[in-house]
Amino acid sequence: MKSRQQLMTFIEKQKTAFIASVDEEGFPTIKAMFAPGKIEGDSFYFSTNTSSMRAQQYMKNPKASIYFYNKGRFKYEGVMLVGTMEVLQDAEIKQELWHPGDTMYYSGGVTDPDYCVLKFTAVKGRHYCALKNSSFAMVDLE
């Protein structure tokens, strides 16, 4: 089993994250996103549209999962985290994650009401590498 630092180092190197939510009928749905704009402890922050299907699903059901992977030439490694997702409209966190090019997505700038931040907080996870799986609780990682 990898340490917390080893898992976070792996996650921070990935350019893409897959985020999963639960739809109105109870089915899981998933989509690719840019890597988190911020990682703090067990929390991962993503920018998205407030009006997006995913943000709407999280407002109704905060259960979520995120997945990171790297497919090397001879080795595949993946980390799945399970937890909850919050939809944040807090001006401070929106400003912190804002990039100048984001006006391409949010014409109203950092105060655009269609710009929000998703905050995922992990409670447990699963790591796969070299044909081995291991499950863990975030509180147990050192």
Estimate to the nearest angstrom the gap between the alpha carbon of 87 and the chain centroid. Answer: 12
pTM strictly above 0.75: yes
Number of domains making up the chain: 1
Q: How large is the greatest C-alpha to C-alpha distance in the chain, in angstroms?
A: 47
Q: What helix, strand, coil percent values describe the chain, rounded to 5?
A: 25, 45, 25
Q: What is the pLDDT of residue 54?
A: 96
Of residues 112, 101, 96, the one with CA closest to residue 36: 96
The CATH number of residue 90's host domain is 2.30.110.10
In order of 83, 89, 95, 110, 131, the CA distances from 11 in angstroms are 16, 25, 23, 26, 19
Q: What is the pLDDT of residue 96?
A: 97
Q: Which domain holds residue 8?
A: 4-140
Of residues 69, 40, 65, 52, the one with CA closest to residue 123: 65
Q: What is the pLDDT of residue 89?
A: 96
pLDDT in tens, 94-136: 999 999 889 999 999 999 999 999 999 999 999 999 889 999 9
Q: How crowded is residue 58: how many other Cβ atoms within 10 Å of its Cβ?
A: 24
pLDDT in tens, 61-77: 999 999 999 998 788 99
Contacts of 103 (CB under 8 A, 6+ apart): 109
Report residue 142's pLDDT band, with 50, 70 and 90 as the boundaries.
confident
Percent of the chain with pLDDT over 90: 89
In order of 6, 14, 21, 73, 77, the CA distances from 118 in angstroms are 24, 18, 12, 33, 25
Q: What is the pLDDT of residue 20?
A: 98
Q: What is the pLDDT of residue 85?
A: 98
Does 2 or 127 have the greater pLDDT score? Answer: 127
